[in-house]
Amino acid sequence: MVHAHHKKAHLAPFAAIGHFVKKNAIMVIAFLAALITSFIIPPDSLYLDYFDLKTLCCLFCVLAVVCALKNVNFFYMLANKIVSVFKTTKSAILALVYITFIGSMLIANDMALLTFLPLGYLVLTTTGKEKYMAFTFIMQNIAANLGGMLTPFGNPQNLYLYSKFGIGDLEFISIMALPFIISIALITVCCLVFVKNEELTISSAKIEVNKKRTAIYLLLFALSIVIVFRFIPYYIGPIVIVPLLLFLDRDALKKVDYPLLLTFVFFFIFAGNMARIDAVRELFSMLLDKNTLVFSVLSCQIISNVPSSILLSQFTTNYKDLLIGVNIGGAGTLIASLASLITFKEYIKHNPHGSAKYIGLFSLFNFAFLIILTVIMSLV
């Protein structure tokens, strides 16, 4: 017995490491990619040019303020109000998907999912409509990936490309307007076709919200967005937001998705190193010259959309097609977007035995969206 206990204690650190790797798989992969390429291109002074501090700063500010708003039940109250207005399954699921869609434009795709997937779960379980769980989660996932494409801060890769190429605000929106409109239309059609019009009964539980704090956090959120749009220097964000949150809500600073920020740091190193390898530079430049849109869509399927945008932006100046490609490329495989892994994890948490069915349905819808959007955008 003592021996077994000793063996268990001996294995505990490995279990902890395994759990950490599983939870932060993308960050660990990014770290390994950075590490391996740093043997090919040893660290030197040029490494300092790899990092886009503005992207990291903006991302940190948005994540911190969203965590604070979440802690005061702001999103929960907002969504509860919206859902209580809708009386049928069809309209409630449409509402959930649209909230996620709009949310991703304002608070970034992964934050929108972390905020609104639990809400989708709550609405479907409290109204006895669990059969729509997989469909709703998949639609929320597609809405988060494709809804965020319209604004520079809607998807992490947008923030990076917007900053790297200095794209104008109106130009950015005009580039993304068509795929955005097509996406809304496709999502709406799916919800109307695949969800029956069943009646919903939902309990209207009273939600307590601290009005004063909510007002302060909304002002901080507005500040983050003003920074993203370059009206104020980016370093003002942390200078104002960090001390205020330390005083008002330390927990929000603890809950920031630091692995996501580190994933960016590691991918900056990986992409910077790859761009300095001659053979890689020649191959990627040639492929991107042939068809930037299609190649960036394909790249997302294998290495995900954020690393694709950081890596491919080193080899092309055609930011218009690259921007469209890495946004619509977020649909498709489960690893095409970091957000899709968040949805998968959330679904499995509630349905541990439903992974195969979920992946099948997920792939079906995602590839349909991906093919339609890629074909239309290639022809335009």
Contacts by 155-158 with C-beta closer than 8 Å and gap 24+? 155/104, 155/108, 155/109, 155/305, 155/327, 155/330, 156/55, 156/59, 156/108, 156/109, 156/110, 156/260, 156/264, 156/306, 156/338, 157/305, 157/306, 157/308, 157/309, 157/310, 157/326, 157/327, 158/323, 158/327
Phi, psi for residue 199 in degrees, rounded to 5: -75, 145
Cβ–Cβ under 8 Å, residues 332 and 300 = yes
Is a pLDDT exceeding 60 seen at residue 120? yes
pLDDT digits (tens, 9 = 90+) for 240-278: 999 999 999 999 999 888 887 888 788 788 878 877 888
Percent of the chain beyond pLDDT 70? 94
pLDDT digits (tens, 9 = 90+) for 48-71: 888 878 778 887 888 898 889 888
Confidence of residue 6 (pLDDT cuts 50, 70, 90): low
Structural tokens at position 315? 């080899």
- For 90, which DSSP code? H
Is a pLDDT exceeding 80 seen at residue 12? no
Confidence of residue 7 (pLDDT cuts 50, 70, 90): low
Q: What is the mean pLDDT of residues 203-214?
A: 77
The residue to which tokens 């390429």 are assigned: 37
Find residue 353's DSSP bridge partners: none
* Residues 269, 311: Cα–Cα separation, whole Å: 10
Cβ–Cβ under 8 Å, residues 220 and 244 = yes
What is the dihedral angle through the alpha carbons of 256, 260, 262, 264, rounded to the nearest 10 degrees? -130
Residue 277 CB neighbours (<10 A): 14
pLDDT digits (tens, 9 = 90+) for 311-320: 899 888 999 9
Cβ–Cβ under 8 Å, residues 288 and 314 = no
Structural tokens at position 105? 């434009």
Confidence of residue 239 (pLDDT cuts 50, 70, 90): very high
Q: For all residues of the chain together, what is the average pLDDT? A: 86
> CA-CA distances (angstroms) from residue 88 to 84, 104, 129, 273?
10, 24, 11, 53
Q: What is the mean pLDDT of residues 22-27?
A: 76
> Worst-scoring range by mean pLDDT, 71-80, 134-143, 196-205, 281-290?
196-205
Count helices and strands in the chain by DSSP H and E runs: 18, 0
pLDDT digits (tens, 9 = 90+) for 97-109: 998 998 888 777 8
Stronger pLDDT, 59 or 298, i.e. the higher one: 298
Is a pLDDT exceeding 60 seen at residue 2? no
Confidence of residue 204 (pLDDT cuts 50, 70, 90): low
Structural tokens at position 132? 């729509």
pLDDT digits (tens, 9 = 90+) for 348-361: 888 878 888 999 99
| Angle, helix 133-147 to helix 89-107, in steps of 10 degrees | 30
Residue 88's SS3 state is: strand
Structural tokens at position 56? 């990291």
Dmax (CA) of the chain = 70
| Angle, helix 74-85 to helix 211-228, in steps of 10 degrees | 100
* Residues 47, 43: Cα–Cα separation, whole Å: 6
Cβ–Cβ under 8 Å, residues 152 and 158 = yes
Stronger pLDDT, 23 or 183, i.e. the higher one: 183
> CA-CA distances (angstroms) from residue 200 to 2, 165, 190, 195?
56, 48, 20, 13
> CA-CA distances (angstroms) from residue 174 to 51, 161, 323?
28, 15, 12
Residue 39 confidence (pLDDT) = 93
* Residues 306, 324: Cα–Cα separation, whole Å: 13
- For 304, which DSSP code? -
Cβ–Cβ under 8 Å, residues 139 and 97 = yes
* Residues 96, 136: Cα–Cα separation, whole Å: 8
> Worst-scoring range by mean pLDDT, 107-111, 124-128, 150-154?
107-111
* Residues 204, 85: Cα–Cα separation, whole Å: 11
